[in-house]
Amino acid sequence: MNDVANTYLDALCARLAALKTDAAEPIAAAVDAVVAAAEGDNLVYVFGTGHSHILAEEVHYRAGGLACMVPILATATMLHEGAVASSATERLEGLAAPIFERYDIGPKDVLFVVSNSGVNAAPVEAARIGRRIGCTIIAITSVAYSTASAKGRETLADIADIVLDNGIPPGDAIVDVPGTSIKCGPASTAIGAAIINAILSQAAHRLAANGDAPIYLSSNMPGSAEQNTKLVERYRSRNRHL
């Protein structure tokens, strides 16, 4: 009865398991970058458009997450006030620059740029901005999708210092719909969230071993008010979304 649901979950689990080997090296490099930024009291920014922006919110003020994470958010690139419009907007050249002007990103910071296709104008421009600043750029993207869609264009993976390939096929969906050429079951959000949380979990352990892990607690856990207030006070002046 749940055969299609199980097919999706099996396909998702297989891709998650493959990350342990296929993405081991870039995950380790990303952990190093995050740890270096946090230990230097610098910040880790996350930017994406459309559904990719969800990862920026996923790591922001997150129970069990690092307080040095800063989302880069702009209504025009999100979905809640017009999905069709935002889909068109993320393809516009010049969109990222005014968004990034609101954030004081420095050369010792880290910038995650999330884009499954890796070719839309806004995330590619975001990576170029990061390159000009000199910060470490980490891409979460589908290399297969980028390769299929590039058509001579520069891709996010071409610009990033560290490329985390989510292993998802072009089009995002991973389950065949019988009798059609259509697929269902998008996977980029689930796998992207797993990738970034895996990185931040490893980074948190490294930071804790060195004596300073700025980790938020769930508001219903003992000691959360004291811990979270301390972290908000530390980062609020540098995170416009706190």
Predicted confidence (pLDDT) per residue in 21-56, tens digit: 999 999 999 999 999 999 999 999 999 988 889 999
- Across the range 57-84, mean pLDDT stands at 87
What's the first-to-final CA gap in the chain, in angstroms? 45
CB 163 within 8 A of CB 143: yes
Number of Cβ within a 10 Å radius of residue 57: 15
pLDDT computed for residue 120 by the predictor: 86
| pLDDT tier for residue 207 given thresholds of 50, 70 and 90 | very high
List the one residue out of 61, 164, 168, 182 whose CA is nearest residue 113.
164
- Across the range 166-175, mean pLDDT stands at 95
Strand partners, 136: 110
Strand partners, 70: 45
pLDDT computed for residue 88 by the predictor: 60
Helix (H) or strand (E) holding 139: strand 136-141
109: exposed, middle or buried (C-beta count within 10 Å: 0-12, 13-18, 19+)?
A: buried
d(CA 28, CA 201): 12
pTM strictly above 0.85: yes
CB 109 within 8 A of CB 37: yes
30 backbone dihedrals φ, ψ, rounded to 5°? -65, -40
Domain ranges of the chain: 30-238
| pLDDT tier for residue 90 given thresholds of 50, 70 and 90 | low
| pLDDT tier for residue 86 given thresholds of 50, 70 and 90 | low
| pLDDT tier for residue 91 given thresholds of 50, 70 and 90 | low
Q: Which fold has domain 30-238?
A: Rossmann fold (3.40.50)
CB 37 within 8 A of CB 108: yes
